[in-house]
Amino acid sequence: MSMIIKEAQVCDILDVDAEGLRIKVRLGSDGNVNKNQLPYAFPLLPKTIQSVPKIGECALILLMDSGNDKSDRFYIGPVISQPQRMSYDPYNNGKGSATSLLQGNVLGPLPKLSQTENTEGSFPEINDIAVVGRQSEDIILKEGEVQIRSGIRSVDNTNEKTAKLSPIIYNAKNPSYIQLKKNNRMNLTPSDSESSVANIVADKVNLISNLTNDQEVSDKLHSKGKLISDEDMKPIIDRLHSVAYGDVLVDFLEVIRKAINEHVHPYPGQPPLPSSSIVSLNGINFTEIESDDIHIS
């Protein structure tokens, strides 16, 4: 027996029998056979890496027996031609964009992503090791650095002509990401040794403990499949506590200490005499200590 690889269009992704990430595809020899009668194709990627193509996309099918299309089928997919088509790349029975970079293609590829302005940083660099999501999320391993990014890409809709080509641009306005770095170039410590840093960047940053004594918050932390749902996000933030700006808090405490040390009473039972320190203390706006964007449980 010899193994052969064929292109096929995905027609079903629900592994109703075992939920083992198997799919069904239609090879040329399958004709108009009802999809329920088609054999399953088993994923070649291990279950520790999940990547299931969408219906209508292309998968590469490996047949255990090249002379028997009903033999065990294995798949690798989806076949994605270019980064611009990460969300969906149709096969259309060999006439779609999924095979635009393969020999015998019917539909040619889009212009290189780098030819569009403001795309730098949208996708991992060529030497990075990465897991790239369907929309605007990825995990990137660089030299001495790990990035977990969401919302890092957007579509340029400012030009009608290029918008039809779905040019991807870098979202420099409000992505969210976690960045872990370690090297000797950041000069974060007095010594010459390598420094490490963890950056968490987002519009809102929440630090929440599973052991929080706020039951309303606790009840919203573990929505199945969603963790914290979009609907519960604002109610949770409203119940969390604002983090204090440490340097601003120290400045306020210094004003309080000075006012305590310098206050003078004319005699017992009377308020302290006016002083610059008392005036400064009365002028403190304590709400300036609170962060509007970082919250803790």
What was the pLDDT predicted at 159? 64
Exposure string of 123-147, with b = 16+ CB inside 10 Å and e = fewer, is: bbeeebeeebeeebbbbbeeeeeeb
Provide the token pair at 42.
């088993």
Phi, psi of 140 (to 5 degrees): -125, 130
Rounded CA gap, 26 and 29, in Å? Answer: 8
What pLDDT does 167 receive? 78
pLDDT at 269 (0 to 100): 73
- DSSP assignment of 163-228 equals HTT--EEE--SS-EEEEEEEESSS--SSSSS-EEEEEEESSSEEE--TT-S-HHHHTTS-BTTTBS
pLDDT beneath 70: ranges in the chain: 1-3, 159-166, 192, 273-274
pLDDT at 113: 85
Domains and CATH numbers, the chain: 1-110 (2.40.50), 111-203 (no CATH), 205-297 (no CATH)
pTM: predicted TM-score of the whole model, two decimal places: 0.86
pLDDT score for 33? 87
Q: Which long-range contacts link 111-115 to residues 24+ away (Cβ below 8 Å)?
A: 111/165, 113/82, 113/83, 113/84, 113/167, 113/168
pLDDT of residue 163: 59
- Dihedral angle sign, alpha carbons of residues 93, 97, 99, 100: positive
At residue 32, φ and ψ (nearest 5 deg) are -105, 25
DSSP alpha helix (H) spans, the chain: 160-163, 215-218, 230-239, 246-262, 276-282
